[in-house]
A and B are shown apart, each in its own frame.
Chain A
Amino acid sequence: MNTTMEILRKHTMKIVLVLIVIFFSVMTKGQMFAASSFQALIAQNSYVFVLATGMLMCMLTGGNIDLSVGSFVCFVGAIGGIMMVRGGMSVPVAMLLMIGAGVIYGIVEGFLIAYINIPPWIATLAGYLAFRGWGTALIGGSSIAPMPENFIKMFNGSVPDLFGGTEMNITCLLVGVIACVLFVFLQLKGRNDKMKKGYEAEGMTGVIVRCVLVCAVILLFAFKLAQAGGIPNNLVWVAVIVLIYNFITGKTTIGRYFYTIGGNVEATRLSGIDTKRIFFLAYLNMAVLTVISAWMTMGRLSAATATAGTNYEMDAISACVVGGVSAYGGSGTVFGMVIGAALIGVINLGMSLMGIDANWQMVVKGVVLLAAVVFEIMNNKEKTKD
C-alpha cells in the first residue's frame, strides 16, 4: 500500500501545485516569489475560497451546483452600496441587512430545490439571470463608490502589528510560528492517540515529512506577508471559514449526512435522516457565504459594480473540481478544495505576471479543469480495479 505510486497518487494535486509554482517562478524570473505576489494571491482569491466552501457543500449532496452565486454577489453588493453609500447607513447594520437578504434568498432557493424538487441548476439559473439584471438596475450605471473606510478596512486591510515592527510585521511572523507549532503538536498527538488505542498509525517518517513541508509553506507565507504589511484581514476570514467547515464536514453528524446523501439519497432517507432538510441547508448556507464573498469583493474594489461577481460561480465550481470534489457528489474535502482554489489562483496570478492575455488565461483554465476531471475519473478507475 505504502508504495511511492500510492503516495504520488494521493498527493497529485499538491505536487502539481508545486510544479506550477516553480514553472511560473522561472517564467517570471522570480517575481512569483515577491512579497507583493503573496499578498495579491490572497487579495484576489479570497472570494473563491469562501464561495468554493459553499459550493463544496452543494456538490457533496450529489454534484449539485449553484449557478446564481456570481449574480447574487452583484445584487447584494448593490443593496449594500445603496444602504451604505447613498443612504449613509451605519456599516454593521448594513452588513446585517445584507446577511438577511442572503438568508431570505437561501430560504427561497433551498425551499424550491429541496421541497418542490426543482432541479438545482434550473432554479439557480433563474437566480443567475434575475440577480444580474436586478443588481445592475439598482446600481443604475457602472458603480456605487466609494465604500465607507471602516467597511473597506475589514476586508482589504491587515491585522495591525502589536509589536510595532518597522520592516517586518512581527505579529504576522509570530502567528506563523504558532501555527507551525500547533500543527506539529496536533499531528503528533493524533498519531500518539491512535497508537495508544491500538489502531493502525502511519510511520513516523510520513508525519515528519508532512510537518516539515507544511511548516515550510506556513513560514514562507508568514515571512513574505510580514514583509508586505502583515496578515491580510481576508486571510483571517478565509482561515476561520475553512476551519469551521473542515470541522463540520469531518466531525459532525450533519456533515456526515452531506456525504451519505451524495452517495445514496434513498439509503440515507430510509435511515431516518431528513434528506430534504440537508438539501435545504446546503443552499441556505451557500447564499450566506455568498454574502461574505460579496463583502470581500466590495472591499477590494471599494465599490459595488454591475460587473462584480461575473463568472464567480464558475471559479468556485472549478476550484472544487480541481480540488478533487466529485462532480457526482459524495466525496471531497475542504482541504482538497483549498488546494484546488490555490492552484487556480496561482495560475491566474502567474499568467497575469507573465502578461498573458485574459482570453488565453481562460483557455488555460478550461484545459486545467478538464485535465483535473479526467485525472480524477481515471484515478478512480484504477482504484476500483485493485
Chain B
Amino acid sequence: MAKVLLEMKNITKTFPGVKALDNVNLKVEEGEIHALVGENGAGKSTLMNVLSGIYPYGTYEGDIVYNGEVCKFGKIKDSEEKGIVIIHQELALIPYMTIGENMFLGNERGKSAAIDWNETYGEADEYLKMVGLSESSRVLVKDIGTGKQQLVEIAKAMAKHAKLLILDEPTSSLNEKDSQALLDLMLKFKKEGMTSIIISHKLNEVAYVADKITVIRDGSTIETMDKHTTEISEDRIIKGMVGREITDRFPKRHNVKIGDVNMEVKNWTVHHPLYPERKVCDNVSIKVRKGEVVGISGLMGAGRTELAMSIFGQSYGTNISGQLYLDGKEVHLKTIKQAIKNKLAYVTEDRKGNGLVLTNPIRINTTLANLDSISPRMIIDKDKEYQVAEEYRGKLKTKCPSVEQNVGNLSGGNQQKVLLAKWMFADPNVLILDEPTRGIDVGAKYEIYCIINELVAAGKSVVMISSELPEVLGMSDRIYVMNEGRIAGELSAEEASQERIMSIIVSSGKGA
C-alpha cells in the first residue's frame, strides 16, 4: 500500500450561521490523482482553502496531517513551503506581464531586491517545456489563450516545487481539446510521482483521470470510490452527489409542436471590433423554428458568442453584414433596445461579469431588461415590480429568503435562474442561451433544462450555445456545429453523436 501523503481529519469549519464543513475526512495517497466532486456549495473549495492556509489554523477544527506531521498553516506561504500548491478556478495571472514575470511573482529569481532576468526567463522556459508549452516566457500573458494560461499556472506551481498540486475546476474555461491536453499532462505528472487533487464538475473528466473519487455533499464526505476496486460510472458519481439516482439527466419534451421559422440569419458576417480585417463570423446562415431547441456546438473561440451578440442588436463586432428575419420579416437591429423590442433575448455566458448586478437584489435584476413595462411615465410601480419578482421566483423555483436578497449572495444555479427570469420577463420570442448551465451543479442544471422545455412548449424558440456535448445532444432538436467562424455542419438530433460533432470540427479545421 502506498504511503498516505495527506490526511485531513474531522475538519469542521463554520461561518457565522452556516456550517460549511462538518467532520470532513480526506485521505490522499502519494502519487495518486484524487478527485473531489460535489454540487456547488457542497464545500469543496472551502476544504481546499483550509488545506492551503487561506483559512488559517485556528479558524477550523480538526487536523491536517501532511507527510506524517500535523500542520498548522497560518498563511498560503506556509503551505506552499511544504509543497502544497493550489491553482484556483479564476486564473490569477497578470495579463500585462510576461509569462516569466508571472511565474516567479512573489518568488523572484535573483539576489535580494535585484531581479536576475536571465535566470528568470531561463528557468521559466524550462518549466514551460515541462508542461509542453512552446511559447517563450517573454510573451505577455494576455497574448496567449486561456488553455495556455492554465498551463502557465501549472508551470508556476512547478516552479514552487509542488509536491501536492490542487486544481480547482481547471477545465471550466477550456475547450475540449485543451481540456484533454491538461488531463493528459496530469497523468504524465502522475507517472513522475506527483500527487494531485482535482476539483471538477465534469464527471467524464473525473472518471478519466482520477484514481479515487471523494464525494462531498452539504459539507460532509459521503464516500470515497476507488477506481481500481469498484466500477465508476458518471451515474454512480451523480448518485453520490445528489443523494438520489437521476435516471434521466435531460427531461423529455412531450408533444411540443415545431412550427414556422421564428428567426433566420442569412449570410451573416462579423468583423472583430479591434482588428477589423479579421472575420469572427463568416457567412453564417442559421434558422430556428417555433417550439424548437437548436444547439450550437463548437470549440471555445469558434465564434458562437460573437455570432449571438452580433445578432442581438450588434452588441459585438464591426462591419456586420447579412440579413436577419424575425417571424418572417426582415429587421435591422442596430441597438440592444431594438433587439429586445423585437422580442429577441440574449442570455450571457458570463452571468457575473455581464449578466447580473450582483450588488443589487433579485427584484431589481429581474425587471432590469423590461423596466419600462412596469413604469408608467418613467415612475417605477414598486408593487408591480415586487409581484413580478415573486412570480418568477416561484416559477423558476429560485431558492432565496426573499426577492430583496442581493444576487451576489446566491449560488451559481440560483443566479442563473435570476438571469433567466430577467430575460423571460422581457417576453422574447427567441432566446439565445449562451452556456446556460456553466458552473452550476447537476440538480440546478436539470431545473434549467425543464425551464427550457417550458419555453419551447409555449411556442418560443431557444438557441442554446454550449460547450458541453452531452448537454447539446440531450437537449437539442437540431445542432449546428461551428468552427472558426463558420457553420461546419448541421445535424438532426437523431444523427448527432459526440463523435460526429468532434469529427466535423476536426475535419473542417483541416480544410481551412
Chain A contacts for B355, CB-based, 8 A: 267, 270
- Please report which residues of chain A, range 327-386, place their CB below 8 angstroms from some CB of chain B when the two chains form the complex: 330-331, 384-386
- Asked if B380 contacts A253 (CB within 8 A), the reply is yes
Q: Residues of A contacting B17 with CB < 8 Å?
A: 386
Q: Is the CB of B16 within 8 A of A386?
A: yes
Considering the complex, give the chain A residue whose CB is closest to the CB of B409.
A384
For the complex, is A272 an interface residue (Cβ under 8 Å from B)? yes
Of all chain B residues, which has the CB nearest A259?
B360
Binding site for B on A (CB under 8 A): 197, 199, 251-254, 256, 259-260, 263-264, 266-274, 330-331, 384-386
Docked complex Cα distance between A252 and B382 (Å)? 10
From B313, B339, B353, B380, A252 is in contact (CB under 8 Å) with: B380
Output the nearest chain B residue to A385 by Cβ-Cβ distance: B16
Give 18 A-B contacts (CB < 8 Å), ordered by A residue.
A251-B380, A252-B375, A254-B378, A259-B360, A260-B364, A264-B359, A266-B354, A267-B368, A268-B368, A269-B315, A270-B336, A272-B335, A272-B336, A272-B339, A272-B340, A273-B337, A330-B360, A385-B15
| Min C-beta distance of B360 to chain A, whole Å | 5
B159 within 8 Å of A (CB atoms): no
Cβ contacts under 8 Å, B354 to chain A: 264, 266-267, 269-270
Interface residues of chain B, those whose CB is within 8 Å of chain A, are 15-17, 312-313, 315, 335-337, 339-340, 346, 348, 353-360, 364, 368-369, 371-372, 375, 378-380, 382-383, 386, 408-409, 422
Option from A252, A264, A271 in Cβ contact (under 8 Å) with B378: A252
Taking A252-B375, A272-B369 as known contacts, 4 extra A-B pairs with beta carbons closer than 8 A to each other, sorted by chain A number, are A252-B378, A272-B337, A272-B340, A273-B368
Q: Which residues of A contact B371 (CB under 8 A)?
A: 253, 256
Closest B residue to A252 using CB positions: B378
B313 contacts which chain A residues (CB < 8 A)? 272
**A residues within 8 A CB of B408?**
384
Q: How far is the CA of A263 from the CA of B336 in the complex (A)?
A: 19
A330's nearest neighbour on chain B, judged by CB, is: B359
A260 touches B357 (CB 8 A): yes
What residue of chain B has the Cβ atom nearest to residue A197's Cβ?
A: B383
Query: Which of A253, A270, A274 is B372 in contact with, Cβ under 8 Å?
Result: A253
CA distance A266 to B353 in the complex (A): 7
From A256, A264, A331, give the contact of B356 (CB < 8 A). A264
For the complex, what is the distance from the CA of A272 to the CA of B367, rounded to whole Å?
12
Closest-by-CB residue of A relative to B359 is A263
Nearest chain-A residue to B313 (Cβ)? Answer: A272
Q: How far is the CB of B3 from chain A (nearest CB, A)?
A: 39
A264 touches B375 (CB 8 A): no
- Could you say which residues of chain B place their CB within 8 Å of the CB of A199? 386
Chain A hits for B378, CB < 8 A: 252-254
Contact B356 A267 (CB under 8 A): yes
Q: Taking A253-B375, A266-B353, A385-B15 as contacts, is the C-beta distance between A271 and B422 under 8 angstroms?
A: yes
Chain B residues with CB under 8 Å of A268's CB are 357, 368
Decide: A263 near B380, CB < 8 A? Known: A253-B371, A271-B369.
no
Chain A residues within 8 Å of B358, by CB? 263-264
Known contacts A263-B358, A384-B409; is A251 also within 8 Å of B369 by CB?
Answer: no
Shortest 7 CB-CB contacts between residues of A and residues of B: A266-B354, A263-B357, A271-B369, A272-B337, A272-B336, A272-B340, A264-B357
